[in-house]
Structure 1
Amino acid sequence: MESDIRTVSGAWFAHESHDSIEQFVCSLPLAYFRFDPHDRYAKSTRYEMVTLFRIFVLQEIHGWNHETALVRSLLRFC
């Protein structure tokens, strides 16, 4: 997966108009990922696993240790 992300991100950020890491994470092509075997959140949340995965990626990229930072970041866009 790491090499896939490097390839996709390299192509994404090569475009002049692509300068947002958040937009990149939202655009990650996840259609070929199979989350079902690893979905320990099934029926315990109202969010789909793809959405949770994107949130976890943002958390790792930004080094957030708690959900509060995510909420603050999302509030900037509202």
Structure 2
Amino acid sequence: MENTANQTTANKWLNVPIIAIITRLLCRELTLQNEYLRTENKILKSKIKKRLSFTDDERKILVEAAISMKEIGCSRFVSIIMRD
């Protein structure tokens, strides 16, 4: 009976397209990486008491990344490059 249950589970995975499996794995990995980076960023910001200043080149890099994020609907995460 247990062998039949294992075969049924295996057969279900055979019906799932490989791209769907890869997508799920990558999405989970990227979510974990993002959570880590957000936590790390929060801790680092708390250790710096003064306002950060960026060079024009650094601002340009951040703006380019922000534009890419806006195109995919993630602009709510972009706050560091906003003007006062």
- The TM-score range, normalised by the shorter chain, is under 0.3
- Structure having the higher Rg: 2
TM-score w.r.t. the length of structure 1 is 0.26
Bigger share in helix: 2
